[in-house]
Structure 1
Amino acid sequence: MKNDSPKFSKMINRLFSVNTSNNLATDQQLNNEDDYTTLINELKLNHKHLTHAQQIAKTGSWEYIIEEDALYCSDYFYSIFGLDSKEHISMDKPFELIHPEDYEHSKKILENAYKGVNYATEFRIYHGKTGELCYIKVQAEVIFKNKKPYKLVGMIQDNTKEKQLEHELRDTNESFDHIFNNLSSGIWMKELDSSNITYLSKGTEEIFELPLEEIYQNPTIWESVIHPDDREAVFNLQQELLAGNAIKHRYRIITHNGKIKWVFDQTIPWFNKETDINRLFGIIVDVTSEMEMQEELNFYASHDHLTRLPNKRSLYNHMNRLIEEKQPFTVFYLDLDRFTLINNSLGYEVGDSVLKIIAERLKELLPTTGYVARLVSNDFVIIDTTATKDQSQNLATRILNEIDKEVRVLDYQLNVTTSIGISFFPEDGGSELTLLESAHTALYQAKKSGKNTYQVYAVTESISAYKQYTLEQDLRKAISNDEFEVYYHPQVNGLNGLIESAEALIRWNHKEWGLVSPAEFIPFAEENHLMNEIGDWVIRNVIKQLAIWKDKGYILRPISINISPTRFLKPGLVTFVKKLLETHKISAHYLEFEITESTILKNEPKIIKTLDEIRELGITIAIDDFGTGYATLQYLLNISADTLKIDRMFIQNITNQNKNDAAIVTSILYLAKALNMKVIAEGVEEVEQLQLLIQKECFNIQGYLFSKPVPNATFEKLINKGFFPIPKSEKTKKPEVERRKYYRLELPGSLKAELSIVEINNKRINVGSAKILIENISLGGLKIMSGLKLPVQSNMKVIYNFTLMDQSFEIEGSLVWKYEVRQDIFYYGVAFNNFPETDKDHLARLINQITVTLKNNQDIPSTNFVTENPITYLLNNN
């Protein structure tokens, strides 16, 4: 077999021409043709194996005869450089492909080899066919002949993939180093046995505030900076590492300059091939700011943000702890008097400053056993565990005197007072809520007594105080639960009875007390800064209702809405109203905003500007309760109001012999006519009042004579009808028919009695009693008159106490109907519950005896009737 490849022939020639003098085989010895053929085949096979081996190893061989400039290369040599294997090349050919930056260096190494220096080097080439950058590794040995460099024999290897991996690894390590060293966290690694630190990121230096070199040199410095209080816990937890468990913990360190830091430390054990722990790897993070934030959040979860006093939550926990320990204590419930005037007149910044000053005074005043918390708004609660009842009253006096001292805020000198209610554990309640209710009931009495005083709780206190307390507690929830309802009070033309407009009045459907009027809850809304939310709710619902009436085809009447003074100081009122009108497609002329005289005194320029913007929308302005405030004629000119509403206090007495009220009404009407203003008389309840107002040409009437405020469904019927009949004479309005199966005794006068509420929604309460008057009585129930606003058909247990002919009765009963006699005075029908037969028989005998006595025109003995006007009596006793 023969091979005609020139490259193979050259290789055979080289094999037989090099070192022939030392070769034992000669041409004479190869005289057998078969032996020659066998040798050629073996060489071809070896050549094939060599080629495959070089391809696998990505290695080529070469030989260079220096004097002949002849380069003999293996097939893979050509493949590495991208050269044609059929072409005979010189040493210059591969050098043409060497990277310019590596050329000179490679050339110099080759020149040294010509002088007999072996070499191993690396360089880059551009592949002859693909142009791809390749990394080449070369090693060559100089062969001498006659003591002179004769040729170079070498190996060449394509090292591109290894270099690429090396570069990628280096880039990756550099990326990790960049990331680690730019993290605020500290990344570290150390040997477990020697404790030598093998790696530290730059963040470690920032955390410990020490140079990395110093930490590297002193590995134990890590343990030395741990806060003494945390050291034992840290070291104990680190024992988990020896068991192969990762750990996480937070602890404090103290830097060399004394700064205390919180760090989060996570450490992971590192296992070798033999599954032994030989290294520790970890991350440490400065979490000082997070811990401080957490501490602050924990603080404000139990403390008031403004005054930094304990809050309601802390107060309840403190009281519960004392109750569980059966430790007697005194509760002082403080409410700063007329505090809303400061906020409304001088702004919340001044108000907040006052609260902080008061809080500091209370803390300084209290004994070491005292505890003070801010409950809500301007309410504070003090708990004292050592004072007797007499000492508690002395402490209350000291509190009053301390708060009464002048308060200086900015340029203002303010006089602040407080009212205090006092209750005692365990006498006045067994829970924190009951004790606070008792103290608040006493507080209400202190307010009624003229403020700047204190009252001790007594079970005989007014039911009204308890009602006021529960209303105040439930008011904020009422807004979110949408418990409010709009009532409409018609404004009527007194000449023809036509309904010309109406006033929107908010009512509260309370789950326990039924329908609650604004007079009862608005003061609390003002003190708790809820008036803006309530006012916006009314505006939103009135405009929405106007749109509903419009869609139903009703003739729309203007609706007036009372606006709180503080709403004019809050930005966005005009935008809020304008957007609602546009959304519901209602003309602004169907709205009128009512303001009180005192409103314009709060912040005259700002309020007048807002009023002007409201009037530009087309909304009219009315001044409510005119004559009761301090407005001047100049204010009337400044705000350009469209309507004056005469307060009901002047209307009530205009028909009496005293002509002062009539003269005031006449003056207001004359003034309004001169200013081209509309006048509405409020509180008209009698025909004589109507007739006198018409005589004075006041035709716009609002009052119970025509209608009380009515719910939406009733008002729809009224506006659909469009008018009221003009009353010709005063009629006595009677309550609903009482259908009782028992004989009803009409008493010759109003009998003094009391009612007590002992249970609401199956919850026992103790809030004392209230004065009532009994009008008639039967074995089935009573008709009573009261100044309390109570719900009918509610889950409320009421006890009635009265005395007939020196015989006392205590009977449980339920309210079954209600009729409003006049504002704040009501008739109620009472049905007896669980009336024992023995007591019923006893009452029946008395009713028969009284009936006989009355038929004989005799006075009823030993029975306490009122001698004054019943309404006056109730107003003075509730």
Structure 2
Amino acid sequence: MTPYDKEDSLGKLFSSPPSQNQESHNNAVEGIKKELLNHYASLAMHHPDLIVAFSPEGEILSQNKESIGEFFGIVVDEIDLKSLIPETYKAPLTNAFKQALKGQSERHELKFEGEQVKKIVQACATFIPIWGSEKIVGVYIIIEDTSEIKELSEELKKHKTHLIAAQNLASMGSWEYIITDEVLFCSPSFYTIFGIDPSEEVSMKKVLKYIHPNDREKARTIYNRALKEGNSYKIEYRIYHQQDENKLRYIRIQAEVLWRNNIPWKLIGVVMDYTEEKNLELELHHTLDSMVHILNNLDAGIWMKEYNTNRVTYASKQLEELLHLPIEKIYEDSRVWENVIHPDFKERVMRKQSKVLEGKALKHRYQIVCGDGSVKWVLDQTLPWVDNDGNITHLFGVIVDITEERDMQDHLRYISTHDEITDLPNQQTLHKTVERLIDDEAPFAILHLDLDRFHVINHSLGYQVADMVIQRLAERLTGILPKDGYLARLDNNEFAIIMRYHDDKEKIFEFAKLTIQTIGKALLVLDYELNVTTSIGISFHPEDGTSKLKLLENAYSALYQAKKQGSNTYQAYSCSNDISSYKKLLLEKDMRKAIVNEEFQLYYQPQVEAATGSIQGAEALIRWRHSEWGMVPPNEFIPLAEENHLIHHISDWVIRKTCAQLRQWKDAGYPLKPISINLSPLRLLKRGLVELIKEQLTFYQIPAELLEIEITESSLLKNDISVLKTLEELRNLGIKIAIDDFGTGYASLNYLHEFEADILKIDQIFIQNITSANKKDAAIVSAVIHLAKEIGMRIVAEGVEEKEQYDFLKERNCDLIQGYYFSKPVPLADYEEMLCRGLSIPKGN
């Protein structure tokens, strides 16, 4: 019997009754009802859900499962269904049972918990009233196992949450566009990216209006092609964030086209906000452009090349200008740099370049021959680029043109070793030459010349004429000098000549006579006819001394004797006439007693701030009041102390005395200003100096910045390794280091480069010659001040005696002034009075 057979019993049941044979019809209906009940019973008994029939009192009348426990995965045959229902559900389920008795069906979701339940956890309970012929006779409860559905639902929620979180994290949104319906569906992140209110209705046309005007037409063209031709696409464009119109965002879109009935039906896509990435890219490009601009405009050539191939991968514009070679040649010729090295330096440079193989940075100076044939000095700094495995992959370098610096350094070195008026070697160079000849153990004579009464020419005819006389006389002396002779200018009116000889001193005396005759010839200068005479003192090596100072002092002693004989003559040294040697003998003898008896005392020469005239510190200068010779200047007893090694005791005394004095000033309430001490390089070479100073600072509780150590530049350069180490340790204590007599050494600029000093003291030989007419010394001093300022050093000008000198230094922002213009070295009491006053009044004011 088929379900749709009009002749079957169910069909007959719902058809209109015939007019005749009513009894037969009624019997048929009853039969159909019974069969229908059988259908319902079959449906209930085989339904996968649990169906339980309850009486109005809540008693179980029937159930479609052999055991309720079987449905819940419980082995026990008999089980109370009510015992499985959690307490939290009992009240609403009881109310639902009562509503079913009133004829109202209800559905409730519940969760079975506890150890008894093994099979289901989530369920849906449906309460249905059971109608009798006239009233409700019971309640059906259908329990559906929804555990799997619930799990799937929770999993979908979880995936949805994760998807939203992932999109937010990645600044990415998703969207769907139904082409035929023109309906756009967007994820929450889509709204966030565009800055759209989620409650706002969004269409594809509106989204296209958000695109930056310059990108809109390109985006619209691609979009329309996708609608018409069904082409999937990728595109990037800019939008203005709708919550902040000034906030430009960079967007990537990828869309796929789905087809239906052979036409494009739907666009599904993702949108990604890559603004941060784009801004970082733009910033990186800007930074790279800025770096390239900087590198191209630095006063240095920058380059990088591959280590293995020697191929240049980067060359700055300045490198092209430095080498005077086209940039294309620098890139194309892998041996370009090797080819420009000056032949005199090539072997040394290539040998030194091998240090790069050890992964070490390299710095050296040499000459190159540029593309235009010019020769330059360069400072080459090369840095190896090493990968994680320790292999050198690239070389990075900086080339600086230091030709002007070298020229200036050579010029400073020259003027520090030569006289500016005559271009003859000066006293410093003379001393060096004497030392070299002594080391060679060669016999030689020193002739010390002094022009008689030369001050008369200075005072009566002026310095210009006097300088011209010195120049003309220097030319005359040069003209008669033997090939192996040596001529130097010592001072305003003094010269020195070194002559080699072999056993025959008469030749030296003959030359002395020739010198007197040559200088004595009439001299015509600016229409002035002048007659100049000279006196000469002569000492011989090794008879009259085996040290530089001894020979020079003895030559001067002989000159003194020649002057006493009436001038315009010469005199050889004789120990019987050496008054200074006798004085030296007594000073050396009494010096040891002076140290024990503390006969030394400190004088203080203020260092005054140029701009304000306020006292900023002082240099401590040792003095010795001898019972017979009176006040002995340091230039007489300090050399003696260095010869007999008493200088160590004297230097230590000065350090202790200075620290003690600073403590006394502190206790007395005086303003505390730094005190500088000029130490002999011999003391710097002796061990224990750093420990002594540290001990004194600790004992007297004096800050290290109140102590300054001065050391002469030329002495440092002779002992740079040990001396520099000691000075570095002193700087680590906080003590400031001053370079004294700057400009008189042998390699001033090189020394400034190698050692970081705090203070630069310009030697008085440059300061004293600062005049409106002497532009050379003025230029030198200006250059030194500018150099020191640039490298962060303070400047102290020594030997300032005239207002013109002070005004010049003040105008050029010199920091401190030291000299007779403000004050000569004064005893303790006078300096304490100056400290209280705070200002030093220039002389003449």
TM-score by length of 2: 0.50
Rg (Cα) greater in structure? 2
**By percentage of residues, which structure has more helix?**
2
